[in-house]
Amino acid sequence: MKVAPIIHTRTFSCDFNSEFLVRPECFMDSDIKWARKNVLGATGEIDGLQGIRWLIADNGKYRIAGVVGFLKTICLKCHLSETDKMKSEELFCDDKGRLVYAFIGVVIDKRQNFDYGSISLDYLWKIYLEEIGQIWKRTYQEVILKDFRDINAKSVVSKTSIESVIAGSKNLYETNAVSDYELFSDLLCNTGTNDFSFCSNILDFNMVKQSEFTFITTSQNIITRMTRENITKPSVISNEQPSQVITPTDVTEPFKTRETKKKVS
């Protein structure tokens, strides 16, 4: 599978770059804008984040997949050598002593790939160390542009059997650290699905309500509130690439879907 790294992070003394600190060389402004919108949708309410969030965004041309979380949390979940552990620990906090969080992911050019494999947290952390480790302490940061390269990624067979609930244009699943990654892998490897987005572990009601993700994993409380309140986000006219809403009938749906009686078309 050919992928290019994409990273949204701050460094020791430089704030977040609004055009990604690392991104594919071929990305145009419209691609950056699309990717950023999805990434910022996943980094919201970061202080309340327990664990990590998996993110996928697909616009028909590119598929982005990666993880959002505090570097310390991500790192603690990885299997690292002692040297990498020591290198990693330097990256946990910024110059003000605040924990640093990031989106670390890969971009798949859909025109060059026909089979997609899943990616692991270890692989993503390796990318972060490679790209950011060396420039961490710089006081002036420039965007790092990267080419696509081949990686070994195995396609996974769908394991998930969690039911989703539809609230407006969103498919809501109950969150769980294990099933979140399974859902992520399933969707990432699903070649038949286009124009969708997925974010796991969103536990803030406003964030779920306002997000434009088509697949979300969240708490049972929020699922109930969302279906009870029949919330739909009004369509917004914009010149961005239209985001098609996936319903179980028009895609190769990897998960079982339970429609609620209050479904809003």
Partner 1 sequence: MIEGYTTIKNIAAKWGITPRRVQVMCSQEKIPGAVKFGRDWAIPINADKPEDGRITTGEYRNWQKKGEDNTMADTQITILGMSGAGKTCYLLGLYYKMGAGLRGYTITTDEDTDVQLRDRYARLCDVTLDMEKRFPAGTDNISKYEFDLQYGYNTIMSFDWVDYPGGLLDRKNSGNLEEYEDVKKAINNSSSLFICVDGSLLLGDDIDEKIDNVRDNCSNVINTFFTEYFKSNNELPPTAIIVTKYDVCKDDTDAEELCEIIEEAFSPFFVKNDNRKIVTIIPVSIGTNIMDNDCSGKMKPLNIHLPIFMGIWFALSKKIQAHVANIQKQEQTNASTISSLRDQKAREENKWIFKSKDEVQRLARRIQEAENNGKKQTQQMNYMLNAMADNSDKLIRELEKIPYVYINGERSSFSEIVK
Q: Whole-number minimum distance, CB 124 to partner 1, in Å?
A: 18
- Does 84 bind partner 1 (CB under 8 A)? Our answer is no
8-state DSSP, 264? -
- Does 123 bind partner 1 (CB under 8 A)? Our answer is no
Considering beta carbons, is residue 116 or 213 the nearer one to partner 1?
Answer: 213
CB-CB contact of 194 with 211 (8 Å): no
- Please list every residue from 20 through 59 that binds partner 1, using CB under 8 A: 33, 36, 40, 43-48
Q: Whole-number minimum distance, CB 71 to partner 1, in Å?
A: 10
Rounded Cα distance between 31 and 24, Å, is 10
- Does 212 bind partner 1 (CB under 8 A)? Our answer is no
Angle between helices 82-89 and 121-132 (to 10 degrees): 60
Q: Whole-number minimum distance, CB 219 to partner 1, in Å?
A: 13
Rounded Cα distance between 86 and 92, Å, is 11
Q: Whole-number minimum distance, CB 207 to partner 1, in Å?
A: 9
The only residue of 95, 122, 130, 229 in contact with partner 1, by rule CB under 8 A: 95
Q: Whole-number minimum distance, CB 240 to partner 1, in Å?
A: 11
Please, which residues bridge with residue 163 across strands? 256
The only residue of 236, 249, 261, 265 in contact with partner 1, by rule CB under 8 A: 236
Per residue in 247-264, is it b (16+ CB within 10 Å) or e — as a string?
beeebebbbeeeebeeee
Largest CA distance in the chain: 55
Q: Whole-number minimum distance, CB 196 to partner 1, in Å?
A: 22
Contacting range for partner 1; rule: CB under 8 A; set: 9-17, 108-116, 171-179, 185-193: 9-17
- Does 154 bind partner 1 (CB under 8 A)? Our answer is no
- Does 142 bind partner 1 (CB under 8 A)? Our answer is no
The only residue of 76, 86, 99, 145 in contact with partner 1, by rule CB under 8 A: 99
Contacting range for partner 1; rule: CB under 8 A; set: 10-18, 78-86, 164-172, 191-199: 10-18
- Please list every residue from 167 through 206 that binds partner 1, using CB under 8 A: 204-206
Give the number of residues in contact with partner 1, rule: CB under 8 A.
34
Tally of CB atoms within 10 A around 101: 22
Burial of 178 by CB count in 10 Å (0-12 exposed, 13-18 middle, 19+ buried)? exposed
Rounded Cα distance between 108 and 257, Å, is 27
Rounded Cα distance between 207 and 210, Å, is 5
